[in-house]
Amino acid sequence: MAKKRDRGNGDGDVWPRKNKEGKVTSYQGSFIGPDGKRHYVSGKNKEEARTKLRRARSDVDRGVFFADPKLRVADYLDQWLNDSVRGNVEPVTHESYARLVRVHISPALGNVKLAKLTPAHLQGFYRDKLDAGLSPRTVQYLHVVLHRALKQARRWRHVNENVAEAVDPPRVPKKEVRTLSIQEAKRLLDSASKMGDRFEALYVLAIHTGMRQGELLGLRWSGVDLEHHTLHVRGTKTASSRRTVGLSQVAVQSLRRHLNRQLLEIEHTGDAYQDDGLVFASEVGTSVLRQNLVRRSFKPLLRKAGLPDIPFHNLRHTFATILFERGKHPKSVQMMMGHASVKITLDTYSHVVPGMDDGIADEMDDALS
């Protein structure tokens, strides 16, 4: 026998739920969600069930219905990393996000229901991480990951709002970026040549083109045109990161030498060589891990050249700084570096752009005298 629905004032489909003895224990109502599926609410009595049903239908009408109110933060982040992040950012960025989620976010917030996550949860999480000794920059990066994940959760209608927008991440003191001078850059490349470093051409490209480390390690010969002195960067950060880069004579010569070295390695390794077309690969053709490149090659090279211990990314800053010091237009530098906008370029390098802060007082004297 079908269950008898108790309809009242257009509130729709409310019926009693009974235990084995036939006693009414609660009331249940149903409605169709924006996903086309039937969902249920329940209440201790008829009026409570009707109230919840009205609220749920109102949420659907306003587009704020939570598809799965029981979805945990940890489960959602796993879904987000796999469905939204993977393949849309550089592999190294995906790995970084996944590690922050695995090591920090999920252990602390993973069991919280996503729909119940509040700004207070995040603010307390940041405070706990700072008290535990994490640097403000790392905690700020945690905020970036959560903000991006919750932005997608709102698009997917898992939540009504991005609670990360109501939270203040810690401020990070801006440090002056240590770049290499032209003479220091020459010394670095001379040392790589004298040491016979397998990645000499990589350092040449880093300084001569400003390519990111992930772009260099992901570069394939199919994207290199030595005859026309160009290469194609298949970046995934933004549309502008996918770009064609002109090569200097020094870069072309370095790549030719590197190709000859690689062909000898392939001949020596034989069938064991896993040729994936990478320009900068291991001795058996596999991808090079960035931490291995830094630890085994870059840091020893800096010491050999008598240079300060700088991050690899500062070679990219060195490239931009040299161009600005030699009077290149910011728009040209932006296009070479693959920045999403010239504003990013100017915000990052305003301190080295000629004319950005010179002569202001004199101009005011001329204008108002």
d(CA 91, CA 214): 8
What is the count of structural domains for the chain? 3
* Predicted local confidence at residue 161, as pLDDT: 85
Domain-located, residue 257? yes
* 55 and 156 inside one domain: no
- Sheet with 224-225, edge to edge strand ranges: 224-225, 230-234, 242-246
What's the DSSP call for residue 118? -
The CATH number assigned to the domain holding 129 equals: 1.10.150.130
Domain-located, residue 328? no
* 198 and 264 inside one domain: yes
28 residue type, one letter: Q
* Predicted local confidence at residue 64, as pLDDT: 59
d(CA 184, CA 180): 5
The CATH number assigned to the domain holding 253 equals: 1.10.443.10
Domain-located, residue 154? yes
d(CA 317, CA 337): 10
Of 103, 132, 166, which residue is a domain's last? Answer: 166
* Predicted local confidence at residue 118, as pLDDT: 94
Domain-located, residue 176? no
* Predicted local confidence at residue 55, as pLDDT: 82
Task: With beta carbons less than 8 A apart as the criterion, state whether 65 and 59 touch.
Answer: yes
* Predicted local confidence at residue 228, as pLDDT: 94
d(CA 327, CA 353): 8
pTM: 0.59
- Residue-level pLDDT, tens digit, the chain, 369 residues: 444 444 443 345 788 888 878 888 888 888 887 667 777 778 888 898 898 888 888 877 776 555 567 889 999 999 999 988 988 887 878 889 999 999 999 999 999 999 899 999 999 999 999 999 999 989 999 999 999 999 999 888 788 789 999 998 988 877 777 889 999 999 999 999 999 999 999 999 999 999 999 999 999 999 999 999 999 998 656 666 788 999 999 999 999 999 999 999 999 999 999 999 999 999 999 999 999 999 999 999 999 999 999 999 999 999 988 888 888 888 888 888 888 887 877 777 766 665 555 544 555 555 454
Of 295, 312, 329, which residue is a domain's last? Answer: 312
* Predicted local confidence at residue 5, as pLDDT: 46
* 118 and 227 inside one domain: no
Q: Domain span at residue 22?
A: 14-62
Domain-located, residue 157? yes
Torsions phi, psi of 40, nearest 5? -130, 150
Distances from the Cα of 151 to the Cα of 113, 126, 163, angstroms: 16, 18, 9
List the alpha helices (DSSP H) in 112-173: 119-131, 136-155
